[in-house]
A and B are shown apart, each in its own frame.
Chain A
Amino acid sequence: AQTVTQSQPEMSVQEAETVTLSCTYDTSESDYYLFWYKQPPSRQMILVIRQEAYKQQNATENRFSVNFQKAAKSFSLKISDSQLGDAAMYFCAYRRKPGYALNFGKGTSLLVTP
């Protein structure tokens, strides 16, 4: 079974600074898909960024980027120029292939201070 590990239960960053959230996963597959989701207090899960394992180039979405290290099975999220609205729970997720569910880590709570 695939497992996703987020080793940082809580992180804190000052506004305008950069923070990196860690995620590792375990799989025997060569092709798969990785995601970062954001969950604010409203409980609404929002997709932040996604990465296909067969792509070597790291995905970026505005202030959000990932560092995908396939050999190390690592998928960290970097948030640049942090904003107060970035405060939320962040979940790393893995999907093996079509027809399979997303497997989630336990999440990292991100606090953004003024």
Chain B
Amino acid sequence: GAGVSQSPSNKVTEKGKDVELRCDPISGHTALYWYRQSLGQGLEFLIYFQGNSAPDKSGLPSDRFSAERTGGSVSTLTIQRTQQEDSAVYLCASSLAGGQGEANTEAFFGQGTRLTVV
């Protein structure tokens, strides 16, 4: 596809259930980022992938959160035993980041998944 694709667009789940959020980055983009945006808040960094490895997962809020990336492409963010405070929009971004001088390379964002835990 031409842009970053996230699915589903919206997800309503019951407290205690597990959810999986998917991100398809732009083809050829080696860097992939997950962010969480709560109502009225900025974007909270969760995890960063370079290829299939995650050099920075410092933003994951608890061990209920995990993410993986396969084939240097699709990434899945999994939230286990969801709680109401997990309700937010989860945004994925990808870029060509890597190597000196490329830090200003634009990060392209998907439209996010709105997660509601009831």
Contact = CB atoms under 8 A, between A and B. Distances in A.
Contact of B106 (A42, A50, A52, A91): A50
A50 B107 CA distance: 11
Interface stretch (B38-46, B60-68, B75-83): B38-46
Interface stretch (A62-70, A71-79, A101-109): A101-109
Q: Is the interface of A mostly helix, strand, loop or mixed?
A: loop
Nearest to B56: A101
Nearest to B114: A43
A101 B91 contact: no
Contact of B112 (A37, A43, A97, A102): A43
Given A45-B93, A104-B43, A106-B42, A98 B103 contact: yes
Contacts of B43: 91, 93, 102, 104
A43 B42 contact: no
B111 A101 contact: no
B109 A44 contact: yes
B26 to A, nearest CB: 14
Contacts of A96: 103
Interface string A1-44: 00010100000000000000000000000001100010000111
Interface of B: 33, 35, 40-43, 45, 48, 50, 55-56, 59, 89, 91, 93, 97-100, 102-104, 106-107, 109, 111-112, 114
5 contacts: A43-B112, A98-B102, A101-B56, A102-B45, A106-B41
Interface of A: 4, 6, 32-33, 37, 42-45, 47, 50, 52, 91, 93, 95-107
